[in-house]
Amino acid sequence: MRNGVRGALAGIAAAAVALGLAEFVAVFTGARSAPLVAVGGVVVDHVPGPIKQFAIDTFGTHDKTALMVGTVVLLAAFAALIGWLSLRNIWYGVAGIALFGAIGVASALTRPDAGAEAAVPALLGAAVAGVVLWRLTSGPTELGDAADRRRFLTGVAVVAGAAAVSGLGGRWLSTRRTVSEARKAVRLPVPTSPAPAVPAGAELGVTQLAPYVTSNRSFYRIDTALVLPQVDPETWTLRIHGRVRNPITLTFDQLLARPMVERYVTLACVSNEVGGDLIGNARWLGVPVKELLDEAQPLDGADQVVGRSADGWTCGTPTAVLRDGRDALLAVGMNGEPLPVQHGFPVRMVVPGLYGYVSACKWVTELELTSFADFDAYWVPRGWSAQGPIKTQSRIDAPRSSNNLSAGPVTVAGVAWAQHRGIRRVEVRVDGGPWQEATLARSVSIDTWVQWSWRWEATPGRHRLQVRATDATGEVQPEQERPPDPDGATGWHSVDVEVG
């Protein structure tokens, strides 16, 4: 066996056992202390905006999985290198493992609310990796005979097995320590102000058209959490503090005891490209934020409410927006059930008319009254606007470019949204021709999207369909194409179709 292959296998085996052991130890020190998660969190926190947008555009809601896979691939390459160097001098390998451990420790200790115990997984993993690397690279320089090769490969297999058992065992134990049972035990109160019924005709029933109400399972998820925060409602509290006359602390039971409002609200991610699917409409149950802020009595100049998540993420919402009468909620329910963990259980913010990065704080534990001049929330230093009102947008869902169309009548359909302003008109055109007004379906309120349809007499050939919307204030969706950063994408969605 050549030195290069032997060293690479030894290095990868040592790294694998380090990660597996660290995953197991992190069951007891906290999921965010596992080196992969901790390092991934640092990457998410410091990645430039364009790279973050590229990841979302490329991988969508699987961006976190792609990050973890990419991190593992890079780590494997680094481990193979230090294994190869170890055959020349074991101290090269020791230095490489020490660097690996130091990065893991530093990353874990910089996670929000991390204590000294967060360093333990990376430290133990690095120590065991050093021993494994030494054992696998010691012995004959060249594994020339079959017995030596068999001994080495057996050692690699044993190490790989131990890494798999500890890693998978740690992952299994972590899943056993979730708040799923606590969530099942939650009994949502009956709202004192129920949501209006979805009117007949709101759902057009066109194939490929997004349903008016998005299921919890299908609702998009974009956030910075590589591991879902497991927040026990029994110990959860919400602090409303900062520049207020009357600071408030609420338990989950106290929040549930307050009068509840139920509303349909469409949420949208600022990273949504024109025609994208990072948007969904759900029925939310919660306590009006305005009532809580009125009780806390914000002081003059407190023009920003900073929502803090259990994992340390922050968003800054204009105080005036939260008090202007719109249905901004501290939500506890989604489509008739307690919030799913991935959508913020036990409590999250829902604010009509604002992109999620400035309003939709999941796993919320604090509302701090401050000012935009004094504090920049998570995404602002990373190049995004401090305030993010949702732009007027529309999308063609049917037909799609992959459809086989026949000449004759074709139903063109999609959705349009301008939350908290509402949609007045949707227009469609073919091949740059005159705009034709589509038929709008009914909707619950101006805080939700609306379905639309238009009957097209399709002719053979290749055609381009375009759509634009006009909101209730009379503002027409802009034609100019702009990327999502810094405050939301603009442009007209188009679909190219072939008619046979």
Does domain 393-499 fall under CATH 2.60.40.650? My reply is yes
* Per-residue pLDDT reduced to its tens digit, 110-137: 888 789 999 999 999 999 999 999 888 8
Does domain 237-370 fall under CATH 3.90.420.10? My reply is yes
The reported pLDDT for the residue numbered 324 is 97
Examine the pLDDT at 177 and tell me if it is beyond 80. no
Examine the pLDDT at 141 and tell me if it is beyond 80. no
Q: Flag the least confident range among 10-14, 195-199, 323-327, 371-375.
A: 10-14
* Domain ranges for the chain: 3-176, 237-370, 393-499
* Cα–Cα dist 484/344, whole Å: 24
| DSSP letter, residue 371 | -
Extract the tokens encoding 279.
Answer: 């948007």
| Among the listed residues 277, 333, 331, 272, the one whose alpha carbon sits nearest the alpha carbon of residue 307 | 331
| Residue with the two structure tokens 């995953």 | 23
* Cα–Cα dist 311/107, whole Å: 14
Q: What is the mean pLDDT of residues 342-366?
A: 98
Residue type at 38 in one-letter notation: A
| Predicted TM-score of the model (pTM) | 0.85
* Per-residue pLDDT reduced to its tens digit, 8-18: 899 999 999 99
